[in-house]
Homo-oligomer: A and B are copies of this chain.
Amino acid sequence: MAQSAKCGAVIRRFCRRCRGDGAHTRTYCRGKRARAAGRGEERRVARRGGRLQQHVVFDRLGVRGRPGHHGERTGDRKALQPGLPGGVHVPAQCRQRRLGTWRRRDTYHSLLTGRVHLSKRQEEFYGRELIIAEREMVEQEADEILRDAADNDVAFLVVGDPFGATTHSDLVLRAVKAGIQYRVVHNASILNAVGCCGLQLYNFGEIVSIVFWTETWKPESFYDKIKRNRQSGVHTLCLLDIKVKEQTLENLMRGKKIFEPPRFLSVNEAAEQLLEIIENRRGKGEELALTEDTLCVGLARVGSKDQKIAAATLQQMVKEDLGAPLHSLIITGHMHPMEIQMLKLFAADKSCFNKLISLDGSTYYS
């Protein structure tokens, strides 16, 4: 039954039974899987192949703006700087230690993505070498990562929920195409961790991204989305821009890989930009969706021990000091009295609640 003629080194290593000594059957060889994939049957094979258990595991690191649970576990909270699509590949063995449901393997591959700095302690925690994979690597070398998954289980630890970014969907699609099973372990992300400010998660509308304005580029499209949400009475979570690995035009033209220091949009800058848009729209005689007195919530480093939350009007938000990144901003919609009570915990200046308007006894807006 040996299929050594059909199997090269990669295929032999792939075989669990023979571990490369050639005494393996077609069932276990990559040839069949590859052919099946060619016939578009990759998913069926993946499902059927109880013994073809190669996985890409999306595991969790933490939420946007927090040091990450793994970092926390190792006692090194500053080790991980989340906020970008990214992750750490660790072997199944590590998962087994943590969740007790994965088989132990001899071999492993590890990889780490995003703007993540590794410490020795983290590698010790995983018992594995960790590899930082920048966004570029995940996007451009996805196939290489998956090639490793042919031999070993690959754990791809990400910051926030894995599906906050299309990059990871792309990785899943490639894995499925190659007949590689995948499994996802979900994680908290800023999308639900914002609930800590007291605004109910069910009352949020579409998420909005506020970008850095430049001298010549001042898009206002996010304002229109906020307007739509406000008209529906729901809150808007605004994710604020992150600029990493930026190149000056000069360096880009010369092909020099010199990057500018990372920049993170603060709630102050975001509030300033919004105020400028309000001023523009007022000038055009447009009916305003939000004003200087609209109640907002600024959040910084959500989930970390030094997280900071501030409730204030949009005008006050320009001056709020929330400290280091990452920041997020919420523009409130209609509020329940309990939401207001919670926000009051986070307001330095309670005057921001003075201009709330009561729609009925149990609904307020600003």
Contact = CB atoms under 8 A, between A and B. Distances in A.
Contact of A206 (B163, B164, B173, B204): B204
A63 B176 contact: no
A357 interface: no
A107 interface: no
A226 to B, nearest CB: 12
A83 interface: no
A186 interface: yes
A300 B74 CA distance: 34
Residue among A100, A161, A187, A192 with max Cβ neighbours from chain B (10 Å): A192
A216 interface: no
Nearest to A69: B99
18 contacts: A43-B345, A69-B99, A161-B192, A161-B201, A163-B192, A163-B195, A164-B202, A166-B200, A169-B198, A169-B339, A169-B342, A184-B196, A187-B188, A188-B188, A202-B207, A202-B209, A205-B206, A206-B234
Interface of A: 43, 60, 63, 69, 72-75, 98-101, 161-164, 166, 169-170, 172-173, 176, 184-189, 191-193, 195-196, 198, 200-207, 209, 228, 232, 234, 302-303, 336, 338-339, 341-342, 345
